[in-house]
Amino acid sequence: MTKTNHTHDPSLKSWLEQANQEDCHFPIQNLPYGVFNSADNPDKRVGVAIGDQILDLSVLENTSQLPVPAGTFARPDINAFMGLGPDVWHANRAALSALLGQDNAVLRDDDVLRWTALVPMAEARLHLPIRIGDFTDFYASREHAKNVGTMFRDPENALMPNWLHMPIGYNGRASTVVVSGTDIHRPRGQIKPPACEAPLYEACGKLDMELEIGAIIGMPNRMGQPVSVKQADEMIFGYVLLNDWSARDIQVWEYQPLGPFQAKAFATTVSPWVVTCEALVPFRVDGPAQNPTPLPYLVQPGGFNYDLDLEVSLRPDDTDVATTICRTNFKYMYWSSAQQLAHHAAGGCAMRTGDLLGSGTISGPTKDSYGSLLELSWNGQNPIDLQDGATRSFIDDGDTLVITGWSRGGGYRVGFGEAAGKILPAVNFP
């Protein structure tokens, strides 16, 4: 487990003044990785966010400033860099922290190099930062599982018998994971209204979001090779915001006996910046007490959760007014990402660099901290009020959902930016 080091020092400042603002998501203590291109250079390449700028790492790798092989960052994803392993991750973070430090003149005072290597975020287009081989989504918030179980079964049997013994998950679709800002069409599927004897094929009427965090696998394990929770934690490169869009009326008809399928396969939105595990070290905390004690392969040797504030806003198409509909925290998760990964590999499953693990909906203990509209409106029984006077039980066409999040340090925050998506009408069946 990585420990705090000089790159986490709250007193660190950058010569890029915007990065030193207390509410900036991308201070020198963060340095998240992403993929971008720009009008003057259409090639996709890897960069690091610092303040309101992107540091083009494909430029710096050609100057011997970074401890990586040539060509590592002149690529449309960060997979090659992740595959170099934790020692290189750490060394590259240290090198970037030094280059961007306020007293380092190497980049600051070289007008040509600085002009070439820095791209304003406002002039860049951000892309999906990883090449995703597989996507697995979990169901790991006790509050969320209890709410859903109470809603569709009863409070006494809200949690299924296996829920407290292992992280529950299902295999999702990597092909429809998209970067923030990608519009999403309302899905169609089989829906069985209560008054109908047979299902209908029609547009989803109960479209929902799910507030999640995505863990990015940096290092693989071999097929047949289980890993401990500690090893699993060391395999994770970093995290993104994740919205696993959900068609609730399709899901309720299809999920038995094998779980979600079309209701989850149509779209998953992730934020464009991957915040590294090393950047989040100062914010590690213990998760909720686990009772009963998990089987030995799932026992955590320390705190593996993160104190990470999360918010969701909803903005209808006909207004500029967005309403914050949820505020919660990643620390509430019953099963940590490391436990999820250890369980995923426990039967011999081979995890690969670039694989994505969705945490599952993150709900807290209060009504305003529920991470889905299903819970916030209690399946439509209690519509939520928006600031423009409208109400919502589920998502309407034209609505834009935005997830954001950050961990608070001493005078700085390690932020994730945004995971945003707008819902378009369903595509007509041919």
Distance between CA atoms of 89 and 91, rounded to whole angstroms?
6
Which entry of 8, 25, 144, 343 is annotated as an active-site residue? 144
CB 364 within 8 A of CB 370: yes
Beta bridge partners of 234: none
Cα 198 from Cα 190, distance rounded (Å): 10
249: Cβ contacts below 8 Å, ≥ 6 apart: 191, 204, 205, 206
CA 129 from centroid of its chain's CA atoms: 12
Residues 337 and 215 sit within 8 Å (Cβ to Cβ): yes
CA 144/CA 149 separation, integer angstroms: 8
Residue 144 catalytic? yes
Phi, psi of 315 (to 5 degrees): -125, 115
Which CA distances in Å does 114 have to 22, 74, 91, 130? Answer: 24, 18, 21, 26
Number of Cβ within a 10 Å radius of residue 99: 20
Q: Which residues are catalytic?
A: 144
